[in-house]
Amino acid sequence: MPTPTLLPIIAIFILLPLYGHGQNSGSKAPSCISPDTAALTLHFEQGQCHWEAQRTDSTDIHFQAALNVLDIYLDQATQSSDTVCWSQAWNTVFDFTSRLQEKSHLQYALKAIKNSVRYFERMPVSEPLALAYQEAGKIYGRFRFNEQALEYSFKALEVREAIGFSIDISEVYNTIAVTYSAMGDQGSARVYVEKALQEYIKWEGPESKRVLNAMNNIGYLYQKEGDTLQAGKYYSAALELSLKISGSKSSATANVLNNMASLLFDQQRHAEAIPLLKKGAKISEEELGVLHPFTCTYYLELGRNYTQLGQYDLAEPYLTKARNGRLFSLGLQHFMTGFAYLGLAEYYAAKGELPLALKYIDTTYQAILFDPDDKLSLADVSYFPLLIQALETEVRLLSEQELSQDMLQHSCKPCGTLAASIEYLHRNTYNAKASRAMRLKLKPTLNICVNTTASLYRQTGDLDAYNIALSISEWNKSVNLFSELKDLSQKEVYRVPDSLRVLEWKIKRQLNMLDREIQASTDPQIKAGLLDQQYAQQEALRSLKATYASQFAKYYEDRFQLGRDMAVERFQKLLFIREQSSQTILEYYIGDSSIFIFLIRKDEVDLISIPLTSDIDKVIANMQDGIYAYFLSARGQSSKPDIETLTRQYIHSAHVLYNQLIRPIEDRITEEPLIIPDEKLQFIPFGLLLSEAPKNIKNFVSYPYWIKDKKIGYAFSLRVLETQMLRANGPLSPKSMLAVAPSVPLSNLPYSKYSTSDGLTSESSFLLDNEEEAYAIASLWKGDVITGKEATKEAFCSLMPSYKLLHIATHGQSDTLWGEKSYLTFTASPKSKTNRLYVEDLLALRMNTEMVVLSACETANGQFLKGEGIISITRAFTHAGTKSAVTSIWPMENQLTSRLMLNFHKELKQGVNKSEALRNAKLNYLAETPGFQSHPFFWGGIIAIGDMSPID
């Protein structure tokens, strides 16, 4: 049974950083003070002996006596004005705490370190205080108390920055990186490891062991983010450096080989990984011994690779050695021990021994302090990546058993916990990229969860199972958009100043841009500057988070705690309150071999599973090409015979998709379906699906489009829709309507590109009649108009929050490589560097608008991010606060679009809802426009998305 890779590299380098700072274990007492060092050592050794004999009371007596001696010593040392005495006193503290490695010793280590912090705080900006904070962070980190580890590490960072930079600050960066990684935030961890690497190079040059370790760790973090190309690049550089400075038989080289083997494991190249691990194991045995936790890493990975190859007789001895060694050196409640138990669970699962596999999975949970019966214990988990992997293993294991009703119910439990874990991790990281990478890696397991919970729902009608499946489907759709909308709503509720919201947006935008530039940079000096900027922005974000925690505690608590479980009943109640009885929500989820359809009405829910009968992505691409390539052909860019071929391609694809997506449930869909598409289904308008092949392919008006039967709307996700619908009940903008028609010289308009599988592009229609369109529509609503020179970006941004309805007739341009760079064009202004309003600019704005109509090209198109959706202009307006939008998936002809838009507003003015108004406008267009211009390209790409309620 294939399973995801473990995390060996974090254990080898980042987790247990070198402690020394130049001191030696067992350092001598300061010459200026005469502590009872012999008594301290005696009590410590006796305490250790009693602990090994499990005599708890005696252990406590002796360790406490040792602490008392240490306390007297610290008091004497800090009375001295000699900083050498302070540093030597610190060495004694360090010697004591570094020997307390077992979790049961934690209370004594913490007492020692807290006492030293209390004493050394007498010297607020001093090396001993920095070391005390630093060691406190390490101790908490050693036993994976992550929040406390961060707290003390950042205190150490502040002191070190105050007293002046030295190489010791890099150890603080390292501890912070370890902790973020343990919390599952690999992106933030990478920022601090990069900073540590800079410091190592600065103080030690580019060829030191610590430089090597940092490069290795950066490779690991890229690997966990799913960027195998960058990971391989750093691993290769680390290996080259290790061979140069340490030789082929050093533990440093062995560790790099281990990490490269981990990458091979991810790629299922197990036979290639094994020789690397054997070589590393031999080196580690000779240098560290067979019971050392790092040596056990090689045993564990060897066992896991042999398990994947089905060579169980070779796997079992290695896995047992890994488990025994880590139990001996670390105890049970340590995440590295947890990994050893999970390796055994995978082994017994592969052999089909379910009881033993489940037993070892439960032991894995114990090792990281997780209670499977209590979701609130997620906050106490010591190592989140291991929890996710253990849940993933349990889900896969249970799915391979015969799915009786009892087994299905048992299988649903880890599915629900996995969904909750993803939410918890997403809420507690500012790094959206890392969160999405994790969801993508988990997609095969999440597909299993949807299939399992759907099966239980169909057998029993269990709504809990339905809601687990629905929550997983939602985690594949506009996750960041929903999170941002929810956060913005909470900021308003708790009166967080708008200045902080804008500041957070600026920081996140800068981090996003810097991450791209860093990966693309090949110049070391430029990259170093970019890394400095990235670190500064990361620190600014941390500072902002601290501001939220101290000044807006309730907001902070609500933002980062586990949210409400997904509940379809809650949404049904909302549909009932809004009196939307004719609306049917259809949320699609594309699995490995099935499409799942969540059908939701105010009085009914269902979950339908339909086997995939074709390569759906290919069919979607064929439908796109069939529509768009005809438009190119009509402009003389393709030969006439291709027109009929491409039209038939569209017809075939649209019919195949209708049979796959609509036919199985067509009798259950009311007159107003609201579609929540999944993955690349977002690129097609469902209204152009065909229930059958047309009799005359040249008569486009006669085609059996689904739009002829239904009033079709769309939503980004169910949670986004719920947010929009609830927001619509709040206070709206005071004025009725604003129409905007910028003046854009034709020479300034770039070509509009629409990507297809054949790489086809076309010239977009230029602005011709947008002013006439704006005046005509504004007159319907007795609204305001800004056109020509007045229609600048600055004017629009200042006016838009004041209106209930916005209509923008301009040029739009999507960017399929970087969605935040998609834009709308406004009249040039001397006050602005650009007349373009980018997606990234819209993300900083706020509005409370009922509807935005985007009479512009490609406003629903943009960068497609798997697991998130299309980063488009429409999405940006939704983020800014609009409840709904009318938008276009592809380029549009200006004059024809103006006619359709005017008809849409006329229908809307009659009091019908938005999806009905758009349907009527399209049907009117078809009735009035026979011949070539009735081709679906000219009208079919316009859709309505969001809350479909009528305009009041």
For the stretch 444-471, what's the b/e string if a residue is b when 16 or more beta carbons lie within 10 angstroms of its beta carbon?
A: ebbbbbbbbbbbbbbeeebebbbbbbbb
Buried residues in 751-771 as b, exposed as e (16+ CB within 10 A): ebbbbbeeebbbebbebeebb
Instruction: Calculate mean pLDDT across residues 132-139.
Output: 82
Statement: residue 262 has pLDDT above 80: yes
Q: Which of 800, 799, 873, 870 is nearest to 836 (CA)?
A: 873
pLDDT at residue 127, rounded to an integer: 79
635 — pLDDT class (breaks 50, 70, 90): very low
- Under DSSP, the state recorded for 740 is E
Answer yes or no: is pLDDT of 643 > 90. no
Cα–Cα–Cα angle for 932, 933, 937, rounded to 5 degrees: 105
H or E segment and range at residue 193: helix 186-204
pLDDT for res 778: 95
Residue showing tokens 């076309």:
762
Locate 906 and state its tokens.
Answer: 């006329």
Do the beta carbons of residue 789 and residue 743 sit within 8 Å?
A: yes
Quote the CA–CA distance of 808 and 195 in Å, as a whole number: 45
What CA–CA distance (Å, rounded) separates 790 from 792? 6
Q: How confident is the model at residue 269 (pLDDT cuts 50, 70, 90)?
A: very high
Write the pLDDT tens digit of every residue in 63-79.
555 556 555 555 555 55
**pLDDT tens for each residue of 897-919:** 899 999 999 999 999 999 999 99
For 348-380, write each residue's pLDDT tens digit: 999 999 999 999 999 999 999 899 888 777 878
Residue 754, both tokens: 């629409």
pLDDT of residue 147: 83
Most confident of 154-158, 343-347, 557-561: 343-347
pLDDT value of residue 277: 95
Question: Average pLDDT, whole number, for the chain?
Answer: 82
Helices (H), 475-565: 479-493, 498-520, 524-551, 553-560
C-alpha to C-alpha distance for 415 and 453, rounded to whole angstroms:
8
Q: Cβ(809)–Cβ(741) under 8 Å? A: yes
Query: Which of these, 6, 115, 26, 24, lies nearest to 68 by C-alpha position?
Result: 115
Token duo for residue 46: 């006796």
Above 50 in pLDDT, residue 99?
yes
Contact 136/117 with Cβ under 8 angstroms? yes
CA nearest 153: which of 179, 184, 124, 176? 176
Q: Are 425 and 438 in contact (CB under 8 A)?
A: yes
With 90 as the cut, is the pLDDT of residue 896 above it? no
Question: If we measure between CA atoms, which residue out of 211, 230, 212, 208 comes closest to residue 221?
Answer: 230
Cα–Cα distance, 33 to 30 (Å, whole number): 6
Helix (H) or strand (E) holding 607: strand 604-611
Residue 243 · residue 251 · CB < 8 Å: no
Higher-scoring residue by pLDDT: 249, 755: 249
Phi and psi dihedrals of 872, rounded to 5? -130, 170
Q: How confident is the model at residue 134 (pLDDT cuts 50, 70, 90)?
A: confident
Looking at the chain, the whole-number percentage of residues with pLDDT higher than 70 is: 81
What span, in angstroms and rounded, lies between the C-alpha atoms of 335 and 366?
9
Helix (H, G, I), strand (E, B) or coil at 832: coil
pLDDT at 731: 54
- In the predicted structure, residue 454 carries a pLDDT above the cut 70: yes
If phi over 0 gives left and psi between -120 and 50 gives alpha, with beta otherwise, what is residue 749?
A: beta
Q: Which residues of 328-361 are buried (b: 16+ CB within 10 A; e: fewer)?
A: ebbbebbbbbbbbbbbbbbbbbbbeeeeebbebb
More confident residue, 568 or 709: 709
Q: What is the pLDDT at residue 531?
A: 87
Rounded Cα gap, residues 90 and 77, in angstroms: 9
| Residue 226 binned pLDDT confidence (cut-offs 50, 70, 90) | confident
Please, is 56 exposed, middle or buried when counting C-beta atoms within 10 Å of its C-beta (0-12, 13-18, 19+)? exposed
pLDDT at 214: 92
Reported confidence tier of residue 107, pLDDT bands at 50, 70, 90 = low
Q: Distance between CA 356 and CA 333 in Å, rounded?
A: 20
Rounded to whole angstroms, the Cα distance separating 483 from 499 reads: 19
What average pLDDT does the segment 705-709 reach? Answer: 96
Q: What integer is the mean pLDDT of 192-207?
A: 91
**In this predicted model, what pLDDT tens digit does every residue of 464-492 receive, in sequence order?**
999 999 999 998 998 888 888 888 888 88
User: For the whole model, what pTM was predicted?
Assistant: 0.85
**pLDDT single digits (tens) 708-761:** 999 999 999 999 998 888 875 445 566 789 999 998 765 444 333 333 333 233
Least confident range from 59-63, 644-648, 687-691: namely 59-63
Residue 721 to residue 724: CA distance in whole angstroms = 5
Assess contact for 307 and 265: CB atoms under 8 A.
Answer: no
Q: What pLDDT score does 145 carry?
A: 79
Q: Per DSSP, which regions of 758-894 are E strands?
A: 784-788, 803-809, 812-813, 823-825, 836-838, 851-855, 862-865, 869-872, 884-888
Q: How confident is the model at residue 595 (pLDDT cuts 50, 70, 90)?
A: very high
**Partner residues linked to 584 by β-bridges:** 673
CA distance 213 to 190: 13
Q: What percent of the chain clears pLDDT 90, i.e. is strictly above it?
A: 45
**Phi, psi for 366 (deg, rounded to 5):** -60, -40
Please give the Cα distance from 228 to 223 (Å, whole number). 5
Q: What is the mean pLDDT of residues 698-713?
A: 95
Mean local confidence (pLDDT), 225-244: 91
Beta bridge partner(s), residue 590: 595
Q: What is the mean pLDDT of residues 177-189?
A: 85
Q: Is 533 exposed, middle or buried (0-12, 13-18, 19+ CB in 10 A)?
A: middle
pLDDT at position 562 is: 59
Q: Looking at 116-130, 296-310, 413-427, which range is the least confident one? A: 116-130
What backbone phi and psi angles, to 5 degrees, belong to 150? -65, -45
Reduced 3-state DSSP string for 119-142: HHCCCCCCHHHHHHHHHHHHHHHH
β-bridge pairing 735-742 and 884-888: unpaired
Alpha helices, DSSP H, located in 31-185: 37-52, 56-79, 83-98, 106-120, 127-142, 146-163, 168-182
**297 residue type, one letter:** T
